[in-house]
A and B are shown apart, each in its own frame.
Chain A
């Protein structure tokens, strides 16, 4: 894996982690995971609060990863003078 690929992975994971932490904080301040479990589909049956928080956090994180990864993908595959673009390999 090239250094740029490793940095891209960091660029996807890290901001989405921060966003997920913030989203969990705001969401679970307003919503009790136990109420969600009781109102939600049966797959959540038997889940306690801590598991609800964890599940919620990883859900938010995964959504953030989708968003960040799409951004990075679009940046890296665009035609143009973006840094790190494949066309740049030809050099100036």
Chain B
């Protein structure tokens, strides 16, 4: 394997700085919309309020997740697990369907890199000017432009870090703490870390994240088949490539439609030449499609020399939209999504833990009755307080001595309720399986049943 690998130091090609050329067109507009929507959601959602608290808050110190009206406790972790499975399956599904649309339009790496590129263009100008600026000796203009870019980049990175931490600690309280300079060392550390990650990924590493760090880029090919949408150059139509005057018929020159303007290479954020065929560095951003369509318009040739297509279509075979792979991914996805919706719909915002008294198995009272003691942990996951009534079943003559009335548990708290149960001695020999049933007085649908044991003398 790898016979071409010479000295170890030359095994990896040197990273060449890529200056993506600005591009306009159908797909660039779609990406702009995606960037605005996704970043708008990210920066905006943190400030959204819901019933007097942050709508989306992953309160790690309190071990509670707030998602609008829902309060999720560590016991609800499997919702998170299911959500992650759904996210992974969606990625599989959309990859099989439309290739790497996620990479080109929705991946945070792409979205933030796009933002950083906008700021770069704002301060350093177009691709050509940026390249000239980097080659130029340091002067007043270069210092000013580079400094302006760094100020914008660092500001955006720090604001991103701040927003990110704001999903884990209430963002308004962090903002207030920043304003009166009372932010704790951990908050500062995490904001700094995420700022650094944003700056490093979107400002410094950019396409290298996709090329060297992203596992998805390497294994997405297993989800591909001959009917998956890819971005491809049509060599049958384009070759042999070559320059020509506008308005000349390429046929008379023995040329294809590609005028070899290299714009498709210049706009590529990962610096590849799409005319060399499908490469794993291609994030399917379709910048080359926009660039080439524009050139084809100018040359009065039909669009689509570089286009979204499928391997089958390139080979002149029919493309199958409906294929088993899609149905399998789709069915599993629908099943997982259905499971989460169903379980959320029937979810009871109440959890019950029964802990037996560890000190004594049982106690004789009044000479003819056996008493067992328990502690109930009543976890009220609902948005408001409830009063709960307790019932016991499973043994003849079993009565509830304590609590003698309904217990109240405030919203989002764990009520610790001492419980004493008594049964007549003649009924209570040995170990009995009993059930504890708890129900909210104001909402009978909120109820839980837990099993435990009632122990008497053998």
Taking Cβ atoms with an 8 Å cutoff, the residues of A that contact B are 2-4, 7, 10, 14, 18, 25, 29-30, 32, 48-51, 53-54, 81, 83-86, 88-89, 91-92
Measured between beta carbons, the chain A residues less than 8 angstroms from B213 are: 10, 14
For B213, give the chain A residue with the smallest CB separation.
A14
Q: Name which residue of chain A comes closest to B11, CB basis.
A: A84
A18 to B214, CA, bound (A): 11
When distances are taken between beta carbons in the complex, the residues of chain B under 8 Å from A84 are 5, 8, 11
Kindly identify, within residues 9 to 26 of chain B, every residue whose CB is under 8 Å from any CB belonging to chain A.
Answer: 9, 11-12, 14-15
Contact status A7-B74, CB under 8 Å: no
Chain A residues lying within 8 Å of B11, measured Cβ to Cβ, are 4, 83-84
Looking at chain B's contact residues, the main secondary structure is loop
Contact with A along B403-414 (1 / 0, CB 8 A): 000000000000
Known: A48-B61, A53-B60. A2 touches B9 (CB 8 A): yes
Which residue of chain A lies nearest to B187 when distances are taken between CB atoms in the complex? A50
Return B16 CB to nearest CB of chain A, in Å.
Answer: 12
Q: Which of A50, A85, A86 contacts B61 (CB 8 A)?
A: A50
Taking the closest CB of chain B, its distance from the CB of A78, in whole angstroms, is 13
- Nearest-Cβ distance from residue B55 to partner chain A, whole angstroms: 22
Q: Which residue of B lies closest to A85 (CB)?
A: B8
Question: Of B3, B9, B186, B212, which contacts A54 at CB under 8 A?
Answer: B186
B interface residues, how many (CB within 8 angstroms)? 22
Whole-angstrom distance from the CB of A57 to the nearest CB of chain B? 11
Inter-chain contacts of A4 with B (CB < 8 A): 8-9, 11-12
CB-CB under 8 A from A3, the residues of chain B are: 9, 12, 14-15
B74 lies within 8 A of A49 (CB): no
B8 and A88 form a contact (CB under 8 A): yes
Alpha-carbon gap, A25 to B83, bound state (A): 13
Cα distance, A26 to B88, chains bound together (Å):
16
CA distance A56 to B74 in the complex (A): 17
Collect the chain B residues with CB atoms within 8 Å of residue A2's CB. 8-9
- Show 24 residue pairs from A and B whose CB-CB distance is below 8 angstroms, ordered by the A residue: A3-B9, A3-B12, A4-B8, A4-B9, A4-B11, A4-B12, A7-B212, A10-B212, A18-B215, A29-B74, A32-B74, A50-B60, A50-B61, A53-B60, A54-B186, A81-B1, A83-B1, A83-B5, A83-B11, A84-B11, A88-B5, A88-B6, A88-B7, A91-B6
Chain B 47-71 interface 0/1 with A at a Cβ cutoff of 8 Å (1 = within): 0000000000000110100000000
Tell me the B residues contacting A by CB distance below 8 Å: 1-3, 5-9, 11-12, 14-15, 60-61, 63, 74, 77, 80, 186, 212-213, 215
**CB closest residue in chain A, given B189:** A54
Bound together, the chains give a CA A88 to CA B212 distance in angstroms of 23
Collect the chain B residues with CB atoms within 8 Å of residue A10's CB.
212-213
Supposing A30-B74, A50-B60 touch, asked if A89 and B8 sit within 8 A by C-beta, the answer is: yes
Asked if A32 and B9 make an inter-chain contact with CB atoms under 8 angstroms apart, the answer reads no
State the CA gap A85–B3 with chains docked (Å): 12
B-side contacts of A51, CB under 8 Å: 186
A86 proximity list for chain B (CB < 8 A): 8
Given A7-B12, A29-B80, A50-B186, A83 and B212 touching (CB < 8 A)?
Answer: no
Q: Are the C-beta atoms of B60 and A32 separated by less than 8 Å?
A: no
Residue of A nearest to B74 (CB): A29
| Assembly CA distance A91 to B11 (angstroms) | 12
Q: Are B186 and A81 in contact (CB under 8 A)?
A: no
CB closest residue in chain A, given B84: A25
- What's the least CB distance linking A24 to chain B, in Å? 10
Using CB atoms, name the residue of chain B closest to A22.
B84
Closest to B14 in A: A3
Extra 10 A-B pairs, beta carbons < 8 Å, given A7-B212, A84-B8: A2-B8, A2-B9, A4-B12, A10-B213, A29-B74, A29-B80, A50-B186, A86-B8, A88-B5, A91-B6
| B9–chain A nearest beta-carbon distance, Å | 5
Across-interface contacts of B8 in A (CB, < 8 A): 2, 4, 84-86, 88-89
Task: Kindly provide the distance from the CB of B382 to the nearest chain A CB, expressed in whole angstroms.
Answer: 21
**In the complex, what residues of A have CB within 8 A of residue B6's CB?**
88-89, 91-92
Kindly provide the distance from the CB of B197 to the nearest chain A CB, expressed in whole angstroms.
10
Q: How far is the CA of A32 from the CA of B14 in the complex (A)?
A: 46
Option from A14, A25, A50, A81 in Cβ contact (under 8 Å) with B2: A81
* B212 contacts across to A, CB distance below 8 A: 7, 10
Instruction: Select from chain A the residue with minimum beta-carbon distance to B2.
Output: A83
Q: Which residue of B lies closest to A86 (CB)?
A: B8
**Which residues in A have their C-beta under 8 angstroms from that of B61?**
48-50
Tell me, in angstroms, the Cα distance from A28 to B212 when the chains sit together.
Answer: 30
Closest to A18 in B: B215
Ordered nearest first, which 8 A-B pairs have the shortest CB separation? Answer: A29-B77, A84-B8, A2-B9, A83-B2, A83-B5, A84-B11, A49-B61, A89-B7
Chain B residue at minimal CB-CB distance from A91: B6
- Across the interface, do B60 and A49 meet the contact criterion of CB distance under 8 Å? yes
Chain A residue contacts of B77, Cβ below 8 A: 29-30
Question: Which residue of chain A has the shortest Cβ distance to B9 in the bound complex?
Answer: A2
Give Cα A40–Cα B15 distance, bound, in whole angstroms: 48
Whether A92 contacts B186 by the Cβ 8 Å rule is no
**How many angstroms between the C-alpha atoms of A54 and B184 in the bound complex?**
15
